[in-house]
């Protein structure tokens, strides 16, 4: 199969969250299975300097954007056999300190930046010599692509046009812009209405993807069901119910080549289920790195997270405020909303010998927290998939999660299955429910045999992409069969 992905972030070149890991893992696994794979992504600041062996497409991109035209180069890297990454080199749009924002404020021209990006994706899909037969598009930044393809197919004789699959990683980020930004698409007005990409008088890039893609997926089966309900639908549940026949959920995989407890350049000590001493050493090292007392017998709770409403930060702060009086330690690595940063700093000031906070982005420390902590907190309000709980499982760190989305699909509570238990789940979104879950963790910590049982189960759980990518191949096949059916009928 010939598959072209498009994404606004891709590990190891750019990353603000799980999207970057997901596309990297899936693309590599597909290429490993012998498929021809491309990934289109913006060339952000610093990427060119950090990598070498660059190639460049001969032809420059030159596309209309409202009244003018915008040019870009396309640089390429080939990180693995069968896999090419196409970087859109448009310095005015992408050579900036942030991916989407600076100092907590979105760039004012994000509509132009990502509508242009979507046009580049459609253009490459049409002109690449290997002729992708399926476009796999991720999140609102690429939401316009299915519409551009449909339009060019209908009005510009693009045949055979590739099929399109749009994956929702997070319905809460919709790419909403004032209606006048529609001019950036250079499309006729026929698509700007409630059955098209209009959403309450705004242009919705996400809705364009939902309405015009041939197939839709989201990143866990449970989230696929949740988003068709008003509670989780962010106002788009009606649209999703309408498109339910083509919507499915595929739980994300994990790149165990990157997230491993042995031979990991970010970890000083290796370990595995048979030799857990290394984990104890990592805990000591983490306590030292974070400036906490190096107490072996005190349970250490960790968080690595964007600090946003989605992640349940408010109930986390409240529950920790109560629980930190008990013998436990807490470390956090995160970045995001200033109001939450402030609150965590207050918490650290209130419990200085028990709490350590690092604000910022640090890939190495994220591995060391996963490895050094005993428990990992993810009390999300909603969670399309969540990767950290799966990393925790592999690192022998017991996840404490709210039973939503991918958290519910990937963690097993003792109430569900004693033999397979590998984490602690709670249902209600409240500080009281989370406090109770933390209590359970403290009890579990007092029972080393049971804790070992949880850890062993978690470390054995297999979410590898090699397997998961076959589920995507099935979705691709379904989409391509539909092409055949249409072609046969026309
Ligand atoms: P989301 O994509 O919603 O943020 P996920 O759990 O899917 O949540 O993925 C988050 C990813 O981002 C993980 O790989 C996590 O380790 C990483 N991450 C989040 N915050 C930070 C940070 N401050 N420093 C380093 N990595 C981070
Ligand atoms: C989004 C979601 C997260 C998911 C990630 C990768 O950022 O918030 O739950 O794991 O995308 O699919």
Per-residue pLDDT tens over the stretch 176-220: 999 999 999 999 999 999 999 999 999 999 999 999 999 999 999
What is the Å distance from ligand 2's center to 384 Cα?
A: 6
Ligand 1 in reach of 17 Cβ (< 6 A): yes
The three-state DSSP-derived secondary structure of 409-446 is HHCCCCCCCCCCCCCEEECCCCHHHHHHHHHHHHHHHC
Asked if domains 2-253+466-489 and 277-462 share a fold, the reply is: yes
Judging by beta carbons within 10 Å of its beta carbon (0-12, 13-18, 19+), is residue 456 exposed, middle or buried?
middle
Does residue 94 contact residue 88 with C-beta atoms inside 8 Å? yes
What is the Cα–Cα distance from 197 to 206, expressed in whole angstroms?
8
**Domain extent listing, the chain:** 2-253+466-489, 277-462
Concatenate the DSSP letters of all residues of 90-115 into one string.
-HHHH-SSSSSEETTEE-TTHHHHHH
**DSSP secondary structure letter of residue 243:** T
Nearest ligand by distance to the CA of 169? 2
Backbone angles phi, psi at 163, to 5 degrees: -80, 160
* Alpha helix (H) residue ranges in 355-417: 363-372, 388-394, 405-410
What is the Å distance from ligand 1's center to 373 Cα?
A: 16
Ligand 1 in reach of 362 Cβ (< 6 A): yes
What is the Å distance from ligand 2's center to 238 Cα?
A: 22
What is the Cα–Cα distance from 254 to 442, expressed in whole angstroms?
28
Which of 305, 381, 382 most suits a substitution to test ligand 1, by most atoms within 8 Å of the C-beta? 305
For the stretch 1-10, pLDDT in tens is 999 999 999 9
Judging by beta carbons within 10 Å of its beta carbon (0-12, 13-18, 19+), is residue 174 exposed, middle or buried?
buried
What is the Å distance from ligand 2's center to 260 Cα?
A: 20
What is the Cα–Cα distance from 131 to 401, expressed in whole angstroms?
43
pLDDT more than 70, % of the chain: 98
Does residue 422 contact residue 454 with C-beta atoms inside 8 Å? yes
Nearest CA to ligand 1 atom 17: 17
What is the Cα–Cα distance from 16 to 50, expressed in whole angstroms?
17
Predicted confidence (pLDDT) at residue 481 exceeds the cutoff of 80: yes
Which of 18, 99, 409 most suits a substitution to test ligand 2, by most atoms within 8 Å of the C-beta? 18
What is the Å distance from ligand 2's center to 169 Cα?
A: 5
Closest by CA to 32, choosing from 9, 54, 3, is 3
Predicted confidence (pLDDT) at residue 489 exceeds the cutoff of 60: no
Query: How would you classify the pairing of strands 36-42 and 247-249?
Result: unpaired
CATH number of 2-253+466-489: 3.40.50.2000
What is the Cα–Cα distance from 187 to 238, expressed in whole angstroms?
25
What is the Cα–Cα distance from 98 to 154, expressed in whole angstroms?
37
Nearest CA to ligand 1 atom 14: 18
What is the Cα–Cα distance from 70 to 75, expressed in whole angstroms?
16
What is the Å distance from ligand 1's center to 16 Cα?
A: 7
Predicted confidence (pLDDT) at residue 402 exceeds the cutoff of 60: yes
Contacts of 27 (CB under 8 A, 6+ apart): 5, 37, 39, 83
Ligand 2 atom at minimal distance to the Cα of residue 169: 11
Ligand 1 atom at minimal distance to the Cα of residue 370: 16
For the stretch 270-291, pLDDT in tens is 999 999 999 999 999 999 999 9
Ligand 1 in reach of 305 Cβ (< 6 A): yes
Mean pLDDT (whole number) for 46-50: 98
| CATH superfamily assigned to domain 277-462 | Glycogen Phosphorylase B; (3.40.50.2000)
What is the Å distance from ligand 2's center to 20 Cα?
A: 9
For the stretch 60-111, pLDDT in tens is 999 999 999 999 999 999 999 999 999 999 999 999 999 999 988 999 999 9
Nearest CA to ligand 2 atom 7: 18
Nearest CA to ligand 2 atom 1: 169
Ligand 1 in reach of 266 Cβ (< 6 A): no
Ligand 1 atom at minimal distance to the Cα of residue 385: 7
Ligand 1 in reach of 25 Cβ (< 6 A): no
- Using CB distances shorter than 6 Å, the residues near ligand 2 are 17-19, 22, 169-170, 219, 252, 383-387, 406
Ligand 1 in reach of 209 Cβ (< 6 A): no
Does residue 407 contact residue 378 with C-beta atoms inside 8 Å? yes
Q: Read off the tokens for 273.
A: 């289920």
Ligand 2 atom at minimal distance to the Cα of residue 17: 7
Ligand 1 in reach of 142 Cβ (< 6 A): no
Ligand 1 atom at minimal distance to the Cα of residue 359: 23
What is the Cα–Cα distance from 28 to 31, expressed in whole angstroms?
5
What is the Cα–Cα distance from 156 to 159, expressed in whole angstroms?
9
What is the Å distance from ligand 2's center to 46 Cα?
A: 24
Nearest CA to ligand 2 atom 11: 169
What is the Cα–Cα distance from 197 to 147, expressed in whole angstroms?
9
How many CA atoms are closer than 13 Å to the CA of 296, on its beta-carbon side? Answer: 5
Sign of CA dihedral 253, 257, 258, 262: positive
The reported pLDDT for the residue numbered 467 is 87
Nearest CA to ligand 1 atom 19: 305
For the stretch 323-364, pLDDT in tens is 999 999 999 999 999 999 999 999 999 999 999 999 999 999
Which of 15, 17, 388 most suits a substitution to test ligand 2, by most atoms within 8 Å of the C-beta? 17
The reported pLDDT for the residue numbered 490 is 37
For the stretch 208-249, pLDDT in tens is 999 999 999 999 999 999 999 999 999 999 999 999 999 999
Nearest ligand by distance to the CA of 172? 2
Ligand 1 in reach of 39 Cβ (< 6 A): no
Predicted confidence (pLDDT) at residue 250 exceeds the cutoff of 50: yes
């Amino acid at each position: 199969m010939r598959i072209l992905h498009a994404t606004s972030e891709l590990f190891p070149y750019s990353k603000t969250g799980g999207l970057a890991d997901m596309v990297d893992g899936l693309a590599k696994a597909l290429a490993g299975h012998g498929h021809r794979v491309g990934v289109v992504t913006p060339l952000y600041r610093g990427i060119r300097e950090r990598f070498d062996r660059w190639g460049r497409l001969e032809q420059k991109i030159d596309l209309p954007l409202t009244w003018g035209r915008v040019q870009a180069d396309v640089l390429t890297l080939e990180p693995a056999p069968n896999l090419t990454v196409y970087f859109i080199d448009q310095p005015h749009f992408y050579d900036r300190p942030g991916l989407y924002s600076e100092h907590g404020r979105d760039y004012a021209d994000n509509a132009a930046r990502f509508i242009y990006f979507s046009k580049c994706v459609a253009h490459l899909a049409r002109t690449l010599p290997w002729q992708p037969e399926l476009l796999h598009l991720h999140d609102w930044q690429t939401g316009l692509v299915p519409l551009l393809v449909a339009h060019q197919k209908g009005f510009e004789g693009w045949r055979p046009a590739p099929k399109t699959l749009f994956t929702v990683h997070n319905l809460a980020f919709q790419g909403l812009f004032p209606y006048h930004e529609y001019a950036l698409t250079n499309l006729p007005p026929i698509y700007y209405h409630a059955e098209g990409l209009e959403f309450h008088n705004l242009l919705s890039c996400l809705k364009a993807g939902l309405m015009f893609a041939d197939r839709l997926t989201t990143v866990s089966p449970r989230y696929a069901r949740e988003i068709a309900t008003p509670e989780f639908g962010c106002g788009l549940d009606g649209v999703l119910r309408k498109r339910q026949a083509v919507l499915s959920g595929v739980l994300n995989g994990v790149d165990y080549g990157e997230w491993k407890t042995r031979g990991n350049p970010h970890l000083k000590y290796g370990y595995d289920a048979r030799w857990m001493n290394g984990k104890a050493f990592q805990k000591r090292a983490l306590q030292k790195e974070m400036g906490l007392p190096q107490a072996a017998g005190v349970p250490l709770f960790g968080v690595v997270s964007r600090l946003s409403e989605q992640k349940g930060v408010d109930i986390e702060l409240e529950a920790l405020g109560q629980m930190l009086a008990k013998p436990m330690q807490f470390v956090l690595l995160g970045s995001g909303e200033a109001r939450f940063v402030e609150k965590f700093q207050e918490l650290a000031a209130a419990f200085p010998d028990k709490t350590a906070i690092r604000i910022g982005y640090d890939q190495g420390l994220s591995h060391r927290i996963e490895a050094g902590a005993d428990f990992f907190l993810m009390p999300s309000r909603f969670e399309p998939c969540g990767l950290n709980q799966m990393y925790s499982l592999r690192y022998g760190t017991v996840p404490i999660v709210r039973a939503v989305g991918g958290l519910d699909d990937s963690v097993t509570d003792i109430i569900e299955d004693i033999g397979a238990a590998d984490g602690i789940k709670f249902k209600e979104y409240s500080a009281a429910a989370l406090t109770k879950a933390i209590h359970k963790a403290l009890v579990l910590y007092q029972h080393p045999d049971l804790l070992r049982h949880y850890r062993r189960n978690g470390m054995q759980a297999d979410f590898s992409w090699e397997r998961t990518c076959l589920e995507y191949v099935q979705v691709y096949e379904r989409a391509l069969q539909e092409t055949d059916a249409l072609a046969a009928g026309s």
